[in-house]
A = this chain, B = another copy of it.
Amino acid sequence: MPQAVTIVGATGALGFGLALRWAQAGVPIVIGSRDAGRAQEAAGRALERVPSGSFTGLQNAEAVTQAETVVLSVPFRSQSETLTNLKGALQAGQLLVDATVPLAAAVSGKATRTLGVWQGSAAQQAQEMAPEGVRVVSAFHTVSAALLTDLDHELDEDVLVCGDRREDKTALAEMVDLIDGLRAVDCGPLEMARIVEQFTPLIISINVRHKVRAGIKITGLDRG
């Protein structure tokens, strides 16, 4: 059986979609939220969608102690506060998968623009704020939350992964492979997240313009 995954922010659309898809693949899901009640409510909604799934709803600090892998899927506005609150809960050796995008919408700007993050990217901010020994990788910025959540939709796109250690990216790639139709692509060190995080506003711009739910595929990889 696959190892459990904790999703901090699974009450949001992207985290909820990942929870559903992984649960379909047999991954036990721990849903974290600032509020235990909201986490349990989301777990209940998820179970309705995937009756075969295993969902537990817990307050964030407790949720992250339940799995080696923690996905951080919160609005940029909340990322720093969430990581501050998790300082005593995250443990060295855990894999933190950051999916945060510094959209300008965080300060009432456009969702087709981003804010500059001092560290270079939200993922690098996560690395700076996470307790020592927590390994950060960056992923899931280009996958449509709506399509993840629509379980009738057959996914067929890539997940762009950035991180400083190859084994961390391999571990995440194996988890991505559990979801039909998704392929992980190693995009380089964590600093490349400052580029990949910009794909979200670009995709939002494409979505608005073409009235679609766009994603990204990297061509040419089969030729490797």
Partner-B contacts on A (CB < 8 A): 112-113, 144, 147, 156-157, 160, 185-188, 191-192, 195-196, 198-199, 201-203, 205-206, 208-221, 223-224
Give complex CA distance A195, B210 in Å: 18
* Nearest CB of chain B from residue A31's CB, rounded to whole Å: 27
Known: A219-B216, A224-B211. A196 touches B202 (CB 8 A): yes
- Taking a contact as CB atoms under 8 Å apart, the answer to whether B195 and A201 are in contact is yes
Known: A188-B206, A195-B198, A198-B195. A216 touches B216 (CB 8 A): yes
Give complex CA distance A89, B216 in Å: 39
Give complex CA distance A217, B220 in Å: 10
* Nearest CB of chain B from residue A199's CB, rounded to whole Å: 7
Nearest chain B residue, comparing its CB with the CB of A116: B116
Q: A187-B206, A212-B224 are in contact. List 16 more A-B contacts (CB 8 A).
A: A156-B219, A160-B202, A185-B210, A186-B209, A187-B205, A188-B206, A192-B201, A195-B199, A195-B202, A210-B224, A212-B220, A214-B219, A214-B221, A216-B218, A217-B217, A217-B218
